[in-house]
Structure 1
Amino acid sequence: MSNPGDYDAVRRDIVAQLKKPDYDDGSAGPVFVRLAWHSAGTYDAKSDTGGSNGAGMRYEAEGGDPANAGLQHGRAFLEPVKEKNPWITYADLWTLAGAVAIEEMGGPKIPWLPGRTDLVDDSKVPPRGRLPDGAQGADHLRFIFNRMGFNDQEIVALAGGHNLGRCHSDRSGFEGPWVNNPTRFSNQFFKLLLRLQWTPKTLANGVRQFVYVDPDAEEGDEQLMMLPTDVALIEDPKMRVWVEKYAEDKDLFFEHFSNVFAKLVELGIRRDASGMVLNTDNVKGGYVSAPKKSNQATGPVQARL
């Protein structure tokens, strides 16, 4: 057991959970990043609701959202960390796990501050439908991300998270990895998006995505894929400018991604001059750490990304 406030110990315990030989591409890193992003991406600036503070995904109202299908695995992978550090809130654990995973997979260091509290019930869980639909276009991306307070440059930078992980037909409906090495953070997503020919393909489940048809591929080789929202980034002139910048300049992308991911996990959080979080939950104030949950993954079967 670590001492309360020993976030370095938590970081080490998160790193110890990254290697998963029997899961996806052998790493829990990408699902940790998606968990942090989805826990924060429900924020609505106008109503000041949602966001990473509260860890609402612990409740069926949010955790059972089809958009969060598959994240039960990421949450379960972090339960041993919660067991060793019972003082940490899930809201801090999930966001810190995303930041640690990005850095451990070769990405930039993500500025991260603690202090998020856990909801004591589901009364403040945001409504479903606030996360992006990968089947849509640029207008949809702006609608979703402008609601959180992001501009075009930040939207494209956040899309660079698709350098990690893969889609699953039994979760988002889409299938396949975006890049050749989905456990190594880079700017490859932007390079491939610009340089390869992306062909529309309708999967057996009726979902439409884009794939690269490699003329040198052998039977059984896995196709790289892009979502309609990814292709929209190069079809929209204002967004394409940033795709080209990030494809050309890895350091610029890393700098901008670090800034926007740090902004993402802070959405809706209010801090005083010393950095203490001012948000409290219901009748309870301060740092409310929810009790440990199950190590077994349970959650929605299918989602949209």
Structure 2
Amino acid sequence: MASSASRQLFRAATRAAAPARRGFTSSSSSVTASSRAAFRQGAAGAGRRYYSSEAPKSGSSSSLLWIGLGAVGLGGAAYYITQNGGAVEPKAFKPEFKDYQAVYNEIAKRLQEHDEYDDGSYGPVLVRLAWHASGTYDKETGTGGSNGATMRFAPESQHGANAGLINARNFLEPVKAKFPWISYSDLWILGGVCSIQEMLGPKIPYRAGRADRDFNSCTPDGRLPDAAQGADHVRNIFYRMGFNDQEIVALAGAHALGRCHTSNSGFDGPWTFSPTVLTNDYYKLLLGSKWQWRKWDGPKQYEDKETKTLMMLPADMAFIQDKTFKQTVEKYAADNDLFFKDFSAVIVKLFELGVPFSDKTETWVFKNLDE
């Protein structure tokens, strides 16, 4: 109870007391360096947007051979090898909520312990991994989605939109080794769920039961959003998955997290002043800042006129240039609780695309590490 209260106190402090940076007054959730340090030490991880690119840092990614390590979990079930009178025999193991909570806790602990990645957290790139593992879904053909973890194989691992995600996959490899019964498909999504919650985002309900597939199920390139495009492209990509306009804008709120890198996407910079905490800042900044084209040698992107430290991509600006999209942007900019409610619902929908859950599959809500 005390830990929960302290977490709520910190949540309020980070959202209400952060000063402006470089003369620009962001929303109430902009986080100072000292707050971010306290955040990392106090059992809160961080989050990351979904289709921006991550750049590897020296020493931040292991060279683990992750394809095929451990047992491949199928449909949430696996096998342990036990000793019985000197003979080795398999014993069926069906993981329960407590087992998945243990995996969640392990990921959260690693997020605390490994702060060498962008802005002090691997959380954002884990969200991006879960997003890209899910966003390949095609509702017409029933292909793609989070059921398969086919990004383990080429050519999907080499798609331009997935550049840098080897860092997220390597980060989770020790977790897979410790809990070999969990499928990569379930693990990647659980990594995204954990990161969102540990970065002070909303609770994300979770269902287990994804099964890993081989390279024959890899999806073709081009199914993920191209950040250089406008509203028509955005709609085409998300309608293919089964989302409507309101859901598209809700998903875009994850742009409050992380940053782009020239080494991966060609773009550069963060969207918000607090790229490791999920809030509705993305919408507030879209509406409240003055944006101009950045003058540089890279691809077309916007920068905020006042500080020139933030960026927006053409696909981001489409949300305020399109009248229908903008109406939802305005609602989320004015109400963080509404954003959290809708974001939680739509990210669950994204993370479950292509998964044939049975009617008996339980829905779980994990406790944060400090609860």
User: Within 1, Cα distance between the matches of 2:300 and 2:263?
Assistant: 14
Query: Partner residue of 1:92?
Result: 186
What's 2:161 paired with?
67
Match for residue 292 of structure 2? Answer: 199
Partner SS for 2:278: coil
Say if 2:105 is the partner of 1:12.
yes
Greater RCO, 1 or 2 (C-alpha within 8 Å, sep 6+): 1
Matched, 1:173 2:259: no
1:159 aligns with 2:235: no
1:213 aligns with 2:305: yes
What amino acid maps onto 1:18 in structure 2? L
Cα deviations by residue, 1:194-248 (Å, 9 ceiling, x for unpaired): 000010124323x00000122xx5xxxx710001100000000000000000000
* Cα distance in 1 between the residues matched to 2:182 and 2:228: 36
The separation in 2 between residues aligned to 1:124 and 1:136, in whole angstroms, is 27
CA shift, 1:4, in A, is 5.6
What is the aligned length?
268
Q: Is it true that 1:270 corresponds to 2:356 in the alignment? A: yes
Kindly report structure 1 stretches of 4+ aligned residues shifted beyond 6 Å. Answer: none
Contact 1:167 1:176 in 2 (8 A): yes
d(CA) in 2 for partners of 1:191, 1:255:
17
8 Å Cα contact 2:289/2:305 also seen in 1: no
Counterpart of 2:311 in structure 1 is 225
What is the RMSD of the two structures over their aligned residues, measured on CA atoms? 1.5
For 1:136, the equivalent position in structure 2 comes to 229
Q: Does 1:245 find its partner at 2:245? A: no
> Is structure 2 residue 120 aligned with structure 1 residue 26?
yes
SS state of the match for residue 119, structure 2? coil
**Partners of 1:28 and 1:21 in 2: CA distance:** 7
The one-letter code of the counterpart of 2:302 is F
Q: Give, as a single letter, the amino acid of the residue that structure 2 aligns with 1:73.
A: N
Q: What amino acid maps onto 1:211 in structure 2?
A: E
- CA distance in 1: counterparts of 2:169 and 2:303, whole angstroms: 30
Offset at residue 80 of structure 1 (A): 1.1
State which of 327, 331, 341 in structure 2 corresponds to 1:255. 341
- CA distance in structure 2 between the partners assigned to 1:16 and 1:78 by the alignment: 12
Q: TM-score when scaled to structure 2?
A: 0.70
Name the CA distance, whole Å, in 1 between partners of 2:151 and 2:94: 23
Q: Partners in 1 of 2:188 and 2:295 — Cα distance?
A: 34
CA distance in 2, matches of 1:29, 1:191: 22
Match of 2:44 in 1: none
Cα shift readout 1:106-153 (whole Å, capped 9, x = no counterpart): 10011110010001x211111111000000000000000000000000
Report if aligned partners of 1:43, 1:267 keep a CA contact under 8 Å in 2: yes
Gaps spanning 5+ residues in structure 1: where? 277-305
Q: Secondary structure at the match of 2:103?
A: helix
Find the structure with the greater CA-based Rg: 2
Alpha-carbon distance in structure 1 between the residues aligned to 2:360 and 2:229: 41
Contact 2:228 2:314 in 1 (8 A): yes
In the alignment, the residues of structure 1 paired with residue 204 and residue 106 of structure 2 have an alpha-carbon distance, to the nearest angstrom, of 18
Provide the C-alpha distance between the structure 1 equivalents of 2:94 and 2:131, rounded to a whole number of angstroms: 25
Distance 1:250 1:18 in 2: 25
Go from structure 1 to structure 2 and tell me whether the alpha carbon gap of 1:159 and 1:59 turns closer, same or farther (over 3 Å shift). Answer: same
- Deviation track 1:59-113 (CA, whole Å, cap 9, x = no partner) reads 0111111110011111111111111101111100000110110010010011110
What is the CA–CA distance in structure 2 between the aligned matches of 1:70 and 1:202, rounded to whole Å? 25
In 1: Cα distance, 2:194 partner to 2:117 partner = 19
* Aligned partner of residue 211 in structure 1, secondary structure: strand
Q: Distance in 2 between matches of 1:172 and 1:202?
A: 17
1:78 alignment partner, SS class: helix
Whether the aligned pair in 1 keeps the contact of 2:269 and 2:309 (CA below 8 Å) is yes
Paired AA for residue 148 in structure 2: G
